[in-house]
Amino acid sequence: MLPPSLPLFPLPNVVLFPGVYLPLHIFEPRYREMVRDALGDDRIIGMTLLRPGFEAEYEGRPPIYHIGCAGLITHAESLPDGRFNIILQGLERFRVIGEDHSRAYRMGSIELLDSLRVPADPVSVQGLRQRLETLITPIVERAGGELSIPPTMGDADVIHALAQYLDFEPLEKQALLECPGLVARAAALIDLLEMRTFAAIKPQISSLH
């Protein structure tokens, strides 16, 4: 269960998913303060994505996508000059419904998005996971790697890890995060991978004509 308000850490190219770990380097003074405060409290911060065109207002309060993911600081390294290296573990999705501007960093009033949701059918999710693994295998092999997903890794963890770690655009990842539930998120992820697979083989198809 998340608190009713969270410190917000908006970034232009990072989307956090539940259950996934994210390393971050904290160097801006306002976010150093945010991490210090979080470490002295419940160690939870909310990751959100900045909307396009944020550059002109970056030092202030540029617009953000209102659906984000809370993360627990599981590790924090305080550097001599005041910077931090931290690791976040994704917790739950939230929606920002208001902001408090009384601090150097942004504080968001939030509502939870997943706590009352009916759990996804495990059989459906397992089938989607298998389809994802089938799609991702040739992509990994073309890059010279080998897919290795532990069979003991939970279906939701696999789906969210692929959503976070695959080389999608930030807005594509934001769309995945905003999907209403695990089944919808996995299906959207499959669509993205199928489009990528088609784009990879399209030149080969064209050469046959």
Lowest-pLDDT range of 98-107, 147-156, 158-167, 191-200:
191-200
Lowest-pLDDT range of 116-130, 173-187, 194-208:
194-208
206 has pLDDT over 60: no
Residue 179 CA: distances (Å) to CA of 55, 92, 126, 147, 198: 27, 13, 18, 26, 23
CB neighbour list of residue 118: distance below 8 Å, 6 or more residues apart? none
User: pLDDT tens for residues 68-115?
Assistant: 999 999 999 999 999 999 999 999 999 999 999 899 999 999 999 986
User: Phi and psi (nearest 5°) for 33?
Assistant: -60, -40
User: pLDDT tens for residues 159-188?
Assistant: 999 999 998 999 999 999 999 999 999 999
In the chain, how many H helices and how many E strands? 5, 6
Residue type, 103: R
Are β-strands 67-78 and 44-49 bridged in parallel, bridged antiparallel, or unpaired? antiparallel
Lowest-pLDDT range of 12-21, 98-107, 122-131, 138-147:
138-147
Query: What is the residue-averaged pLDDT of the chain?
Result: 89
- Please give the pLDDT value at position 198: 61
Q: Which two tokens stand for residue 180?
A: 């209403």
Superfamily of domain 5-112: LON domain-like (2.30.130.40)
* Cα gap 146→153, rounded to integer Å: 17
Q: Boundaries of CATH 2.30.130.40 in the chain?
A: 5-112
